Each structure stands twice: as structure tokens, then as C-alpha cells.
Structure 1
Amino acid sequence: MGGNSGNLLYANAVVRALSTRWTRIDTGGFDAHTQEDPSKFIKDVNRTYDHYVVPLANVFRSGFTDKLVKMTEIIRRLEIPVTVVGIGAQTTVTAAESDELRMTKTGKTRVPDEEVARRHDQVVRTFVETVLERSATFGVRGEVTKRYLVSLGIPDERVTVIGCPSLFTWGSDLRIEKTPGPLTRESRISMNVDYRVKGMADVVELNSELYPELTSPVQDSKSARMIITGVDKYDMSKFDSRLPIHTGHRLYKERRLVFYPSPWGWIESFKSQRFAFGTRLHGNIAALLAGTPVHLLAHDSRTLELARYHAIPHSLLSDFEKPPSAAELWERTDVEPFNQLQPERFRNYLDFMHTNGLRTVFDKDRSPRGFDRKIAEGQRTGPVLPQ
């Protein structure tokens, strides 16, 4: 899952979209850019496949520079069409509004110095230009990412904003229904937590106390291993003990901290929950895919550009003087803009796929039924609970 189970949502969404009856899809290559010599991988791809499709997340972030160099080398040596789907930039909210965009990491409030940023920008530009030698257009998550690439010299018309593919898993008909009435202590609520984001310890502490039925699905691999093995994986001398990343936390001891090994079971679980909120982008998207209202606590350009593009209900975490309760976020949540925009956003995504020579299960005379039969068992896979 690449260290984060949220990655499974957009990767599986792209696979489902491409799973037509006449198409063979093999998944893999996730570690190709970590190989010292990827020659065999490149040779196998060139010999076996007609198209190389790369669903990516926020890989333009600072710290991913060297891996992008390796990915660029692999794509340069491919002899088939290459399509990048849904890639995103990542910087602070403040930096995203400036004329000089510099990439950073999740939870970081500082951007790299000019020399580091200049090297990173050159690597990003080379990567995009290499992909565009084998692709009609380049698919990005939001307007901030597009503005960043255009500032590097990438032609505006070659960059298409498509949002996050995960939100098109079921097609254009996804609708969110918000039930009437306030949240109560008996409400079933999901709270997703990125432990790297400043201020989340306060949010966790407040809401864990207010809502006894609240659960918190973990997404990072260390927390997943902790739940599976019962052994702490983080050095808590470096973190606030109020964060649910250790076995002494109340959410762990009360078995309200959970891990979903199947993305399909994770989505299915939200059908019995009333509301989801938090700082994890795909923790909220998983709920949306079940038709459940969410409120994203945006904290960087990555979360904010997608919230704006898809009209996901959101607030900036930094705007709150006090940690918000789920009830407060519920009152701020309006799902209608998302519902109204979804068909248009989906059509744009489908146009992008067609422009790049890809057929989908959403096209005329095609169906996702074969794929959906295969995931039925995964939809029945529930959470792993703490020891």
C-alpha cells in the first residue's frame, strides 16, 4: 500500500475504470523506481504491454526528488504510451498562494531553501516532459498543481486538471445524503487522523471524549502493524501522547482504533456510519464513496486543491481558535455542491482518459460487472481490531 492505505483507493479506482472485457490489466511496478537496475522491468513492460498507466498521488512533494529521477529514467526507456493519472503537488497553504511555489512535506510549515527547490523543480519538469513525449496530456489533481507545472514551463494545454480518480470509482452517479438532525453522543462517527499535522492531538482528545461510538481507521503502515501485532512502532518521545499512534492511547485500549486491510471493506464500513471527518484526504474519500457526509480539515495545498476542485465540504484546520467538535463540523457540512459538480467532473475525467487512448468500463457497451464480482469478497472484509 506504499505506506498508506489511502493509495489503494485511487489505484483500485483506475484499475476498475480500465477493466473492460477486452482489456488485460496487470498491476505492479510499484517498486521499480527503487531498483538499482530496472532494466529487466523495463524490458518486460516493453515486450508485454500496450500501455503503461501510472496512478500517482502527491509525488511532487519535497523529499521525493531522487525517486522522481529514477521514475523519469524508467519512462524515458519505455517504448509504449504512458499516461499519468491524478498526480499532485504538495506545499503549504501559504506557499500555494504565492507566485513562487516551493514544494514541501506533509505537516511541514517551512519550504526548502532556494537551491534545493531549484533542483527539485528541474527534476519535476524533466519528469513531466518525459511523460508528455509518450502522452497526449498530463493529468493533475488540482489547480495548484497545474499552476506549479505551468510556472516550470510546461505548456498550459498539455496539463489537464482531473481531480482524484478515487472519486470516480463508481462513475458519475455518486451522491452524498446528509440525514436531518444534529449529531449526538450515540452517533456513529469516523475520525481520520494524520499524526504529522499540527493541532490534531487537540482534535483527537476532544472528540474521543465526546463521542463514545467514534472510531478511527488508521492508514499509515506503522499504525497498521501496531494494531495487527500489538507492538508499538513509534518512538513516543518524539510525539504528543494524545495522538492515537501507541498502544497506551484510549482509542487503542477501547478498540476504537481500527485498520481496514481491504479498501473495499473500508468503503463498505461507512454505509453504517453517519459522518466522517479529519485531516486524511482518503479517509474522507472512502466515506464519500459510501455516500456518507464528510468534513475535511484541510492543512496543505494537496488537501485544499482537491477539496476545492470536487467541492468536498472542508475547513482550514488553522482557522479554528479551538479544536472543532464533530457536531460543529457537521453543522458546517453542505453536500449539495459536491453532488451538483460530480457529473461534470466525471465527464472531464472520462474525456482525459479518451484523449490518452484509454477505453473504460463507463464507455458505451462496456460494463464494470466483471470487476465488481471480483471485489465482492473484499467488500465483506471488516476491520482488524487491536489486540
Structure 2
Amino acid sequence: MTHPDMPALFRISAPGKRVCFWGAPAHVPPFRSLAEGLEATGANTGNLFIGHGLFHGTDCAHKAFHPGFGAIPAERLHEHFDMLFVPASNFVGNGVDLTAHAEYFARTKLPIFCFGLGSQLRPGEAPALKPGTEAFLRLMAERGGSIGVRGAFTAEVLWDMGIRNTSIVGCPSLLGLRTTTLERLAAATPSRGRMAVNFSNNVRRHALHPEAMRACENALLQRLLGENAYYVLQNEQPEMEFLAAMAEGRADRASAAARSIAELFDVSATREDFRSFVERRIRVFFSVEDWVGCMATMDVSIGSRFHGNVAALLAGTPALFLVHDMRTRELCELLRVPHVMLDRPLPAEEILERAAEVDYGPFLAQFRRLGIEWRLFLERNGLGLGFHQMEVPQQVAA
């Protein structure tokens, strides 16, 4: 794994500013149960990479996450902070309600800097946002020089809403990349020696091709039951319930959860290799550092969770992204990371073969260009970008 003391490639500069963070969290406080820990992440452990990237990638006079709307009256927030930073996730969705947040931050006097805003809509789906959510999006547009969105699809959705001051910048989770990380990615040769896998089996309804996605994920899990593979969770409910039951010594609950997992993946719950897999090969992390550290021990990561694969990239481990919806598609297209569209049932062996052939040359070349876009984006918001010289190895340079 790359050493944590090595300088990051990019640093957001806000000299003399006191920055308040609200949005995706960077850390999880001590918790008493897996359910409590998951709630602290915003109901998805992948959110930690968004908050962690922006929080630790910012240099300023003082920074802290907002202590809660009841702790500081909105009208007095400017006495404690000079700017609001929003490490954003999929706010542009028809089921999201940000009414309370819109009302609170509208009463503050702070400029707002948003990085990583994404949409959960499908192509052609008309936005039916809750009034409070739309009000919050418009507030960020009014209070900021430019909203940082994940990709072209989200920019188009906002454009149709009349919000035009956007910058296509991807996700702040990538602020954690280091030169040594990129060097490891450039030199890596993926293998099946030790694999990490992630799935989106609980959000298949968002998929562009739900049945194809289900077939691909199920085939991949079934193929990996006998391999040296580890299934890393983000918020999959039966799997989380299984881990919680095992930790509590509740064999009855664990068996019920295992049956639910088996049903999701179309595999017999009585198979010995399945039982061994769920008992020994499922992992969940509530710390970015721990997650990245685990990924550094892997030879390759494969899956449909964007941030599950970002964990691998931050460790310098190559990943194959399985694209199932517009959220992952726009990010993969922007970053030019190796990806496969799940638009037809793919045999598991084909997915594994594609993973063995991933080429991170296009990503490394694109990342250099992305740094320039980040500089322009930050300047539009009155911020600066410091970055170290990025040496892209000649054998993979575009």
C-alpha cells in the first residue's frame, strides 16, 4: 500500500478560511452495532470515500463537519465558519428529500462549494424532485461559482432544470490518489490470485438493464465461490444481517440471512462452498484507511460498486467496473477507467478475462487532464489547487 505520509497529487487550497463540511461523512464514530455504523455512513459505506476525499484533501485555517442543525442557529453559522463545503452524493433523485437542509442553509450567509453531485435518474426519466431538494440544488447554484457534478449526464439533468453553472469533475474520492498509487496501477498485472468483488444486488431496480445485471452478478458470484475471492459490502441488507447475526452468535438469524443471500444470487443455500463463502469471505469496512489497506492486498477488484472499486484504485490495485446505471456510467466514461456495460448476460469467465486485461493507460492520461479541469473548477469557486508533478510512465501514457 502507498504510504499515508506520501503527498497527495492534489490539494484544495482555501487559505485563512474556516470551512464547515456537510454531506457525505469522512469518518464513523464508535458504534454498538453494524446497523448503527451503517446509519452513520449515510446508509452506504461508499459515502465515506466522498467525505474523506474532500475533507482530507482540503487545506484551510480550520475545518469541521457541521455539528447538527440544533447546535448552531443558521443565522449565526457565519460566526463559526466562512464557507460551506458539500461532499455530495446522489442528491438529484426523485426519492431524495432535502427540505430541512434547504431551509437551514438558506438562512445562513455562507458561500457554498459542492463537489461530486450525481443523479439517480434513468435516461429519459423526467425529474420529479421534492420541492425542498430542488430548492437546495438551486441554493447551491446561487451561492457557489460552479457546482461540481460527477459527469455529463448529471450536468444535462441540471441544465434542463435551468441550473447552468456546473463543472464536470467526477468525484472528490479521487483526491486521495498519490503518485506512487498511479505508478503501482501502471505496473500492475491483474491476476486471479486474490480477488475483491462487490455487487449492487439490492439496487438492481436502478439498472439500465435489470435482468442482464442480475444474470451477470449472479453468475460472477457463483463462479467465485471456490476462488480466493472476498465479497466487500456497502449496504446490502441480507449480507449485513448475516454478519450481525454471526457477531451476536445468533445461528437462527444467520441461517435465515444466508438463505436470503442465496435466493438473491440464485444459488442453493445448502451448498458447502456457498456456506463457506458467506461465513469466511464477506467483509465490511467503516474506515477508509482499513478498506484501502485491505485492497492493497488484492490482485484485482471487480464489481458494480463505484466506490468499492475506488478503494482498490487508491491502493494501486487495478479494478474492472461493471456498469449498470447512469451513476456509474458517467463516472467511468469521464475517468476512462476499465469498465464493462451490463447490457446483456455476460458469462462469468468473460468478466474474469476482461479483468485480467484491464489497461489503466487511458485513466492515467485522463487524470492529467482532469487536474486542469479541477483547477478551473476551484478558481470559479474562489479556491485554489495545489498539485505535485505527476509522472505518467511512458509505457502507459496516451
Could you tell me the TM-score, scaled by structure 2's length? 0.72
For residue 12 of structure 1, what is the aligned residue in structure 2? 52
Q: Please tell me whether residue 183 in structure 1 is matched to residue 183 in structure 2.
A: no
For residue 98 of structure 2, what is the aligned residue in structure 1? 68
* Pairing partner for 1:169 from 176, 199, 216: 176
Instruction: Give 1:236 shift.
Output: 7.5
Report the CA distance shift for 1:295/1:350 in structure 2 as closer, same or farther (over 3 A): same
Runs of 4+ aligned residues of structure 1 deviating over 6 Å after TM superposition are: 233-239
AA at the equivalent of 1:6: G
Q: Please tell me whether residue 271 in structure 1 is matched to residue 296 in structure 2.
A: yes
Q: Please tell me whether residue 145 in structure 1 is matched to residue 160 in structure 2.
A: no
Q: Please tell me whether residue 28 in structure 1 is matched to residue 50 in structure 2.
A: no
Map 1:36-185 → 2, pairs under 5 A: 40-43=72-75, 45-64=77-96, 67-92=97-122, 95=123, 100-102=124-126, 117=127, 119-120=128-129, 125-155=134-164, 158-170=165-177, 174-175=181-182, 176-177=185-186, 179-180=188-189, 183-184=191-192
Q: How big is each residue's C-alpha offset from its partner over 1:117-168, in whole Å with a ceiling of 9 and x where there is no partner? A: 4x4176554332211221111111000000111111122xx11111011112
CA distance in 2 between counterparts of 1:190 and 1:216 reads 6
Q: Out of 231-240 and 270-279, give the one that drifted further.
A: 231-240
For residue 243 of structure 2, what is the aligned residue in structure 1? 227
AA at the equivalent of 1:14: L
Instruction: Give 1:216 shift.
Output: 1.1
* 2:242 and 2:257 in contact (8 A); partners too: no
Instruction: Give 1:262 shift.
Output: 1.2
* 2:375 and 2:384 in contact (8 A); partners too: no
CA distance in 2 between counterparts of 1:325 and 1:216 reads 19
Instruction: Give 1:23 shift.
Output: 1.8
SS in 2 for 1:60: coil
CA distance in 1 between counterparts of 2:263 and 2:132 reads 38
CA distance in 2 between counterparts of 1:122 and 1:159 reads 20
Map 1:281-296 → 2, pairs under 5 A: 281-296=306-321
AA at the equivalent of 2:225: S
CA distance in 2 between counterparts of 1:283 and 1:217 reads 7
SS in 1 for 2:197: strand
Instruction: Give 1:39 shift.
Output: 8.4
Q: Please tell me whether residue 214 in structure 1 is matched to residue 223 in structure 2.
A: no
Q: Please tell me whether residue 339 in structure 1 is matched to residue 377 in structure 2.
A: no
AA at the equivalent of 1:322: P
* Pairing partner for 2:305 from 253, 273, 280: 280
AA at the equivalent of 1:183: S
How many correspondences in the alignment?
Answer: 325
* 1:168 and 1:346 in contact (8 A); partners too: no
Report the CA distance shift for 1:78/1:225 in structure 2 as closer, same or farther (over 3 A): farther
Instruction: Give 1:71 shift.
Output: 2.3
* Pairing partner for 2:198 from 192, 196, 200: 192
Could you tell me the TM-score, scaled by structure 1's length? 0.74
* 2:83 and 2:110 in contact (8 A); partners too: yes
Report the CA distance shift for 1:129/1:62 in structure 2 as closer, same or farther (over 3 A): closer
Unaligned 5+ runs, structure 1: 33-37, 103-116, 365-387
AA at the equivalent of 1:241: E
Percent identity, please: 23
* 2:337 and 2:360 in contact (8 A); partners too: yes
- Let me know the Cα RMSD of the aligned residues: 3.1
